[in-house]
A and B are shown apart, each in its own frame.
Chain A
C-alpha cells in the first residue's frame, strides 16, 4: 500500500513539473502584460492585443512544427529559409497569374514546404546524417535558391490577389484569420500527439531511439513524418507571411529558425527529445513576441530584445535542469525507501 501512495505523490510532482512550465509562461506573460500596460495604456487596447496575436501567429505555427521534430530528438533549422522561399515564390506565381485565389496559394505553399521537409527527412532518417548538419545545409541551399529566384526583385502588395491579402488582415467574428489558423493547427497537432498511438511514438523515439526500434516503432517513418509536418507548416507559414506583409523580398524570415527553436525550448520542449507539448511551444512563441512588443511600447532599445530572448532561453534551460535534478533526487529517495 505504501508503494502505491508513494507512487501517487511522485506522479503529482512530475505532473506539476510538466504543467508548471505552461503555467509559469502564462504567469510570466501576465506579469509582462500588467507591467507594460501600467506604463502605457495603449498596450492593452484591442488593436494592441490584435497586433501581438498577429505577430505571434506565424512564429507559433512554426514552433508547433518544430516541436514535433524536437520531440523526436532532432532539429529543423531550415524553417526560416522555407518561409522565405515560399513567401517569395508563391507571391511571384500569384503576381503573374492574378486569377489564382487563396486556396491555390495555400496548397502551393504547403507543397513547396513538404518538398523541403521531404529532403530533410530523407537525409536525416534514411541517410542517417545528424539533423543539425542536414538542416543547416538545407537552410543555406534553400536560401540560395530563394535569392536565385528573386534575383533582387521584390513582390509588392498591389500585385497580389485581394483574397490573399484579406487572409492576412481579415477576420471572422472579430478574430483575425492568422491566430485562428495557428490555433486550429496547434489543437489538432496537440490532440494527435496526445491521443493517438502513432503520436505517442514520437515521444518514444525522442526518449530512446534504440528502445523505440526494438519495440517495433517505425522510427524512420515517424522522423520522416515529423520533418514533413515541419516543412508543411513552414510552407503554410510562408503563405501567411505573404498574406500579412504583402511586400516580400528574398531576405524575409532569415534567422527565424533560431527564434523558433528558442520559442520551442522556452515552451518546455526538451532539446534532447521525448518531453514537451505543442501548447507549451506556442505559448513560448507568444511570450517571445509579447516581450518584443512590450519593449517597443516601453521604448527600450530594440537591441536589448535579443539579449532578453537569449537570457530567457538560458533561464528556461537552467530551470529545466534544476527541476530534472530535483525530480531525480525525489525519485531516488523514494526508491531508497522502497528499494527492495
Chain B
C-alpha cells in the first residue's frame, strides 16, 4: 500500500504487481428506474481483506450479487486476474472460485452438515456414485483446518447461526475459493463468535484468499480489513487503506455529512415499576429469570446469541408459554401465553426478524402500521381507510420514515426504514412497556442514530423499554442498566456507570469476574 495519495484514486495500485484476483470496472446496474450501481469500480487482491462500507440502499448487496453471478451488470466489466469474465448464474462464479456467504446463511435444514458442504460437488466413486467415505474424510479435514468441532452427520436444522456460517466457510474452502465474499456475516453473532470467525478469516487471507467483507459495525472493519471501499447511493466514493482512517472520516464518506451523536441517550427520571418478571422459567430454554423495568428506563438484555434473551421476550409477551414464574405489568399479573392480554396491558414487542415476524412484506406501509390497532380504526363495523392513513402519516413523520407513498409495499423500503415501520406499528398502540429485540441489526449508522434517538425520547416520555441487543456499543451507549444472560439464566445486573465491554462480555461468557 502506498499511502494516503491513492485514497481518491479508483484504480489505485494494490498490494502487489499481480492483477487483482477479482475486480469490477465501471459497473452500472439499474432495476427499472432505480439505479442501484453507478460506474462502480473495485479491486480485490489475494491475501487482502477488503471492506465494503455504505448505508443501507447504497448498493452493497447489488455489488455482491454482481460479483457472485446473481445479477449481470448493465454496463462495465467483471474481471478475473485482469481478464473480463461473464457470470450468467451463481454456478459460473463458483466455478471461477468466487464463494459468497450471504447475510442469511443459505442452508438446507433437512440435509446433514456434510451434505450441505458438498451439495452438487460430492466426491464420486465408480459409476458416478457418491463416495461417502471420501466426503466424510474431506469434511473432517476441513473442520480440522477451521479448528471447529462440528458433527458432519448432524442435520443443519439444529445449528446456531454461528455454526451455520462456519459450514458456509467450509463450503467455500471445499471449493478452493480464491475470493470469499461475506455479506454482513457478523450481524447475528455475538462477541466471541465474531472473534472465532475473524480467526478463521485471517487464516484464509494468509493462505492467499481475497476477502470482501461487509459490516455495519465499523470496529470490525478496522479490526479485520486492510482496505475499504465506500459506496453512497450506488456511486463509488472512495477506496483507501484502513490504516490512517478514522471512524468519523469513514462515517462521513458513508453518510456524506457529519453525524450527530450515535447514542443520544437522554437522562430520564425513572418512575414506578412498569414490568416485573419473577422467576420465569421455560423448560430447556431459560430458567429462573427475574428482573424489573421502571418507567423512563432503558434496560438492555445482553448475552450471546442462544442465551435465551429473545425467548424471554417472547414468553413475556405471551407468544410462548412459560412453565413457572409470572409476569406483572403495572402491578397486574398477565395470563400466560396470551399476546392479546399483554397488548391490552400495554406491552409491545418489536421482534428481531422483521421479515418473518414483524411485517407483512407485500402490503402497504399504512396497512402494516394499522395492523396492531385495527379496533381503534373502526368506524362502525368497517375499518376506516382515512383513519388508517392518518395514523400512518402521523407516525411516519414522527419517525422520519423515508418513503414515496404510504400505499407503497413495505418490501421496497430499505432495512432501516422497514425497522421504522415495525416501530411505528407498535408505537401506534401507545404501549407503556416496549420490548425491542435487536433494534438496529443490519441497519446503517444514519438510521441507527435515528432509532436510538426515538428510543431515548420514548423513555424520557415515561415508557419502560427493554432492549435486547448483541451490539455492545449500543448496549453501553443506550442502557440505564444492563442485564446479562448466559445459557438461559440471568447472571448479572450491571448499572450504567459500571457497564464496560469487559464487564458485560465476562458475564455473557459465563465467567465470574
- CB contact between A340 and one of B110, B129, B304 (< 8 Å): that residue: B304
A148 at the interface (CB under 8 A from B): no
Whether the pair B122, A8 counts as a contact (CB closer than 8 A) is no
Query: With the chains together, A332 CA to B307 CA distance in Å?
Result: 11
Query: With the chains together, A14 CA to B129 CA distance in Å?
Result: 24
Contacts of A334 in B (CB 8 A): 158
B142 at the interface (CB under 8 A from A): no
Whether the pair B193, A207 counts as a contact (CB closer than 8 A) is no
A182 vs chain B, min Cβ distance (A):
23
How many residue-residue contacts, CB under 8 A, span A and B? 121
Query: With the chains together, A339 CA to B508 CA distance in Å?
Result: 12
**Interface of A: prevailing SS:** helix
- CB contact between B94 and one of A204, A216, A332, A336 (< 8 Å): that residue: A216
Whether the pair A197, B151 counts as a contact (CB closer than 8 A) is no
- CB contact between A215 and one of B109, B119, B157 (< 8 Å): that residue: B119
Contacts of B304 in A (CB 8 A): 339-340
Which of the segments B49-57, B100-108, B320-328 contacts the partner chain? B100-108
B444 at the interface (CB under 8 A from A): no
Contacts of A215 in B (CB 8 A): 90, 106, 119-120
Whether the pair A203, B122 counts as a contact (CB closer than 8 A) is no
Query: Could you list some 19 contacts between A and B, CB below 8 A?
Result: A4-B151, A8-B151, A14-B154, A195-B129, A200-B111, A200-B115, A201-B120, A204-B111, A204-B120, A215-B120, A216-B89, A216-B94, A327-B158, A335-B306, A336-B284, A339-B306, A339-B307, A339-B487, A340-B304
- CB contact between A333 and one of B129, B155, B284 (< 8 Å): that residue: B284
B415 at the interface (CB under 8 A from A): no
- CB contact between B193 and one of A201, A212, A328, A340 (< 8 Å): that residue: A340
Whether the pair B109, A207 counts as a contact (CB closer than 8 A) is yes
- CB contact between A275 and one of B110, B119, B487 (< 8 Å): that residue: B110
Whether the pair B108, A207 counts as a contact (CB closer than 8 A) is yes
Contacts of A214 in B (CB 8 A): 70, 90, 100, 102, 106
Whether the pair A208, B106 counts as a contact (CB closer than 8 A) is yes
Contacts of A207 in B (CB 8 A): 108-111
B133 at the interface (CB under 8 A from A): no
Query: With the chains together, A138 CA to B130 CA distance in Å?
Result: 36
Whether the pair B151, A11 counts as a contact (CB closer than 8 A) is yes
Query: With the chains together, A159 CA to B304 CA distance in Å?
Result: 76
**Interface of B: prevailing SS:** loop
Query: With the chains together, A333 CA to B311 CA distance in Å?
Result: 13
A213 at the interface (CB under 8 A from B): yes
Whether the pair A208, B149 counts as a contact (CB closer than 8 A) is no
B488 at the interface (CB under 8 A from A): yes
A185 at the interface (CB under 8 A from B): no
A196-B151 CB under 8 A given contacts A336-B285, A339-B160, A340-B192 = no
Query: With the chains together, A327 CA to B155 CA distance in Å?
Result: 11
Whether the pair B90, A335 counts as a contact (CB closer than 8 A) is no
B197 at the interface (CB under 8 A from A): no
Contacts of B110 in A (CB 8 A): 203, 206-207, 270, 273-275
- CB contact between A212 and one of B102, B108, B306 (< 8 Å): that residue: B108
Interface 0/1 of A26-47, CB less than 8 Å to B? 0000000000000000000000
Query: With the chains together, A213 CA to B111 CA distance in Å?
Result: 16
B198 vs chain A, min Cβ distance (A):
15
A211-B106 CB under 8 A given contacts A216-B94, A336-B308 = yes
Query: With the chains together, A337 CA to B304 CA distance in Å?
Result: 13
B449 vs chain A, min Cβ distance (A):
31
Would you list which residues of chain B between 356 and 413 have a CB under 8 Å from chain A? none
Contacts of B128 in A (CB 8 A): 196-197
Query: With the chains together, A196 CA to B111 CA distance in Å?
Result: 15
A216-B91 CB under 8 A given contacts A200-B130, A201-B119, A340-B304 = yes
B39 at the interface (CB under 8 A from A): no
B289 vs chain A, min Cβ distance (A):
14
B386 vs chain A, min Cβ distance (A):
36
Whether the pair A211, B153 counts as a contact (CB closer than 8 A) is no
Interface 0/1 of A183-211, CB less than 8 Å to B? 00000000000011100110110111011
A35 vs chain B, min Cβ distance (A):
35
Whether the pair A217, B154 counts as a contact (CB closer than 8 A) is no
B interface list, Cβ under 8 A from A:
70, 89-91, 94, 100, 102, 106-111, 115, 119-122, 124, 128-130, 149-151, 153-155, 157-160, 192-193, 284-285, 304-308, 487-488, 509-510
Would you list which residues of chain A between 73 and 129 have a CB under 8 Å from chain B? none
Residue of A nearest to B151 (CB): A7
Whether the pair A7, B153 counts as a contact (CB closer than 8 A) is yes
Q: Which of A331, A333, A339 has the most CB of B within 10 A?
A: A339
Query: With the chains together, A196 CA to B118 CA distance in Å?
Result: 12
Query: With the chains together, A10 CA to B112 CA distance in Å?
Result: 11
Contacts of B159 in A (CB 8 A): 335
Whether the pair A217, B120 counts as a contact (CB closer than 8 A) is yes
B123 vs chain A, min Cβ distance (A):
9
Which 6 A-B pairs have CB atoms at the shortest separation, nearest pair first? A7-B151, A331-B158, A216-B91, A211-B106, A274-B110, A207-B108
Contacts of B157 in A (CB 8 A): 327-328, 331
A329 at the interface (CB under 8 A from B): yes
Residue of A nearest to B304 (CB): A340
Contacts of A213 in B (CB 8 A): 90
Residue of A nearest to B148 (CB): A3
Residue of B nearest to A197 (CB): B122
- CB contact between B130 and one of A195, A332, A336, A340 (< 8 Å): that residue: A195
A10-B154 CB under 8 A given contacts A197-B120, A217-B119, A339-B306 = yes
Interface 0/1 of A211-248, CB less than 8 Å to B? 11111110000000000000000000000000000000
A10-B106 CB under 8 A given contacts A207-B111, A216-B120, A217-B119 = no
Query: With the chains together, A306 CA to B153 CA distance in Å?
Result: 40
Contacts of A273 in B (CB 8 A): 110
B99 vs chain A, min Cβ distance (A):
11
Whether the pair B94, A11 counts as a contact (CB closer than 8 A) is no
Contacts of A339 in B (CB 8 A): 160, 304-307, 487
Contacts of A335 in B (CB 8 A): 158-160, 306
Q: Which of A3, A7, A8, A216 has the most CB of B within 10 A?
A: A216
Whether the pair B89, A203 counts as a contact (CB closer than 8 A) is no
Whether the pair A3, B109 counts as a contact (CB closer than 8 A) is no
Whether the pair B119, A196 counts as a contact (CB closer than 8 A) is no
Query: With the chains together, A337 CA to B488 CA distance in Å?
Result: 10
A314 vs chain B, min Cβ distance (A):
22
B304 vs chain A, min Cβ distance (A):
6
Query: With the chains together, A146 CA to B83 CA distance in Å?
Result: 58
Interface 0/1 of A128-149, CB less than 8 Å to B? 0000000000000000000000
- CB contact between A4 and one of B149, B193, B306 (< 8 Å): that residue: B149
Whether the pair A197, B108 counts as a contact (CB closer than 8 A) is no
Whether the pair B154, A11 counts as a contact (CB closer than 8 A) is yes
Residue of B nearest to A71 (CB): B110
Residue of A nearest to B305 (CB): A339
Whether the pair A336, B488 counts as a contact (CB closer than 8 A) is yes
- CB contact between B107 and one of A208, A217, A329 (< 8 Å): that residue: A208
A197-B121 CB under 8 A given contacts A211-B107, A215-B106 = yes
Query: With the chains together, A243 CA to B509 CA distance in Å?
Result: 70
Residue of B nearest to A194 (CB): B130
A220 vs chain B, min Cβ distance (A):
11
Query: With the chains together, A4 CA to B159 CA distance in Å?
Result: 14
Whether the pair A3, B111 counts as a contact (CB closer than 8 A) is no
B221 vs chain A, min Cβ distance (A):
24
